[in-house]
Structure 1
Amino acid sequence: MVKPPCPVDACVGRHTGRLSHGRPVRRLRVVEPHERGERMRVLLAGASGAVGTPLTRQLVAAGHEVVGITRSAATAGRLREGGTEAVVADVMDRDGLLAAVRGVRADAVVHQLTALGTTKMRQAMRDTNALRTTGTAHLLAAAHAVGARRFLTQSIVFGYGYRDHGSHVITEDDPFGEPTTGLVGPAVAAIRSTEEQVFAADGIEGVALRYGLFYGRDSFVRMIVDLVRKRRLPVPSSGGGFAAFVHLEDAAAATVAALEKGRPGQAYNIVDDEPVRWADFLDTLAAELGVRRPRRVPTWTLRAIPYVHTLMTTSMRVSNARAGRELGWTPTVPTYREGIPLVVSG
């Protein structure tokens, strides 16, 4: 496990109710977290997605009820066949969403919607940004409509900044969502927006899950397998930066734990136990696939693929200590060494 460099309460930058850009977040009334064993009814946006699929299964296994939100009647049918309730609505259509949840009652809303992997990268990023900004606002309106007091939102560790963080071990007390420019500027702003909204909403116990990059079915890693097979994903000759990953099953388990135990107004880093350099990660993936390792290239040549250049030159070592301490969560897939074989075999 990556440990913080000092006790959380002693670290510089201790949580003060503000995100790093200084805009105030409304103080929440302090309430006791939900205890395990309390059955909750959960309105889940993205129930059929990468995290939503294992999350739905784990919520039901933990004794909770799930009402999934999906844009597709066919997907709603599959959710119902699996034993969960479902409503058909587009989260980007506020009036349609509120009409769809009319008469529904829920204790919590969980926002797991993204558009990543559904279309070309630039458009997928724009659509995901909209889901994190406008979509969050609409889901908060739905939360009030269904009587939910708890709201969990999907965030991501890249909100700490797409840059080289050096040897510093990142905790939740580090600056988050600082404005930036370039390709990733709108993405960071959208990540900040979803957290700000749920932390500031009246009558809502907001919790943010800052996930690492996902392993597993329909995950980021599955998206790059074909590129590695064909040696079409080079890596910097320097080895690239350090990245944080988490298996989808572990991400889902952490979300259930946060639903039951997470402190209102708190964000949690949901990553595995060991950051890994891109070269080591992709070499291990290539070996598991039985193909030659990725080509090494000068870092500057990756600028022709802007997002890949940004991703591989970002370096962050992220601590999951708070999630372990407060949520009782420990990843069952502790490192990329265990995770990559699962992805390839899956």
Structure 2
Amino acid sequence: MTTIQKNQSILLAGASGVLGRHVARALTDAGHKVTGLGRGRDNGVRADLLDRDALLRAVDGYHFDTVIHAATALRKPPMRHRDMHPTNALRTDGTAHLVEAAQATGARRFVSESMVFGYGYGDHGDHWITEDDPFAPHGSSPELEAHIAAMRTKEHLTFAAPGLEGIALRFGLFYGPGGTDALLSLLRRRQLPLPGDHGRVLPWVELTDAARAMVAAVERGRPGQAYNVADRTPMGFRAHVLCVAEEFGLPKPMTVPRWLMRPMGYAHTVMSTTLRVSSAKAERELAWAPAYPDCRAGLTALRAAVG
């Protein structure tokens, strides 16, 4: 297990996002000084990751020990493939620009938010995927290749950046404080028809658990390594939504045929995927473990927190 200094100065891209807010809080609680990077007024460094020249001007004169890329363009669950295009741009051009900014500020470490879908969409069967499995295989359609290529590029840029210790965290699907709100809203309005899971499962991770993993990667991650970060109980998408409905006393989603979801191409692809990932490497090397081993436990805690 690698340990580097505490009390770091950290630049956090995406600090105002759903994950970023939790990461900022967890890093601060761990004794680090966090500066947010983004377009909003609440950020200490205001810049757009897609504007290289403006970003480099914005960080001029700053020094950071670590730079974290947790920026996303998603403000609601993506339904169509085009909904992912802005985030794909942040994964490619945005990462390249942020790497330059990290080098310009003298950073030593660069930590990227990655995703388990980089292992490929589709049916992976009963196999528990580890970091030794191939990452970012060619997509089975032009749309899927665009998404996977963006994840492939983000990790390549993370690991290949000269002078930076690159680390990638491959997160499961997020839920929890700030992340489950969209589902609650749709359930209350009865606007979330879903097909059955039929044995399909996906990896999930509660947001505060994800944030703790980010802190662990900043402090103890091995350079050049990727880590899966998910709880220990894969769950189908519909099963997860049913847990949300039951925990919050909301109507269950209507069951619809899977073909009815095809016009919403990205959502249809995700709900048709079977994916199990092992987080044993993160637990072993980062001394991280999920406080919530399954979605039921995390949703119960969320319900208790909101009253």
TM-score of the two chains, using structure 2 as the length reference: 0.92
Change (3 A) 1:283 1:121: closer
- The one-letter amino acid paired with 1:134 is D
Q: Does 1:53 align with 2:21?
A: yes
Match of 2:205 among 246, 249, 253: 246
- The one-letter amino acid paired with 2:73 is A
Aligned equivalent of 1:328 = 287
Structure 1 CA distance for aligned equivalents of residues 190 and 57 of structure 2: 49
User: Displacement, 1:238?
Assistant: 4.8
Conservation of the 8 A alpha-carbon contact between 1:152 and 1:206: yes
User: Displacement, 1:284?
Assistant: 1.6
Structure 2 CA distance for aligned equivalents of residues 301 and 119 of structure 1: 18
SS of the residue corresponding to residue 104 of structure 2 reads helix
- The one-letter amino acid paired with 1:64 is H
Structure 1 CA distance for aligned equivalents of residues 191 and 144 of structure 2: 23
Aligned equivalent of 2:70 = 112
SS of the residue corresponding to residue 190 of structure 1 reads helix
Q: Does 1:314 align with 2:261?
A: no
Task: Output one character per residue of 1:237-284: Cα deviation in whole Å (capped at 9) or x when no partner.
Answer: 453620111111111100000011111111111111110122322222
Structure 2 CA distance for aligned equivalents of residues 195 and 71 of structure 1: 23
Structure 1 CA distance for aligned equivalents of residues 10 and 263 of structure 2: 43
Matched residue count = 303
Structure 1 CA distance for aligned equivalents of residues 270 and 147 of structure 2: 13
Q: Which runs of 5+ in 2 are unaligned?
A: none
Q: Does 1:163 align with 2:122?
A: yes
Q: Does 1:137 align with 2:96?
A: yes
SS of the residue corresponding to residue 64 of structure 2 reads coil
Q: Does 1:102 align with 2:60?
A: yes
Q: Does 1:193 align with 2:153?
A: yes
Conservation of the 8 A alpha-carbon contact between 1:199 and 1:205: yes
Aligned equivalent of 1:93 = 51
Match of 1:69 among 37, 40, 53: 37
- The one-letter amino acid paired with 2:164 is I
RMSD: 1.9
Structure 1 CA distance for aligned equivalents of residues 252 and 192 of structure 2: 10
TM-score of the two chains, using structure 1 as the length reference: 0.82
- The one-letter amino acid paired with 2:11 is L
Q: Which runs of 5+ in 1 are unaligned?
A: 1-31, 77-85
User: Displacement, 1:343?
Assistant: 4.2
Conservation of the 8 A alpha-carbon contact between 1:222 and 1:343: no
What is the identity percentage for the equivalent residue pairs of Structure 1 and Structure 2? 48
Aligned equivalent of 2:195 = 236
Task: Output one character per residue of 1:172-229: Cα deviation in whole Å (capped at 9) or x when no partner.
Answer: 111111121243321111111100011111111100010111112332x322222233
Task: Output one character per residue of 1:283-332: Cα deviation in whole Å (capped at 9) or x when no partner.
Answer: 22221232332222332222132222111110111111110000000111
SS of the residue corresponding to residue 242 of structure 1 reads coil
Q: Does 1:33 align with 2:2?
A: yes
Q: Does 1:149 align with 2:108?
A: yes
SS of the residue corresponding to residue 234 of structure 1 reads coil
- The one-letter amino acid paired with 2:290 is P
Structure 2 CA distance for aligned equivalents of residues 342 and 280 of structure 1: 18
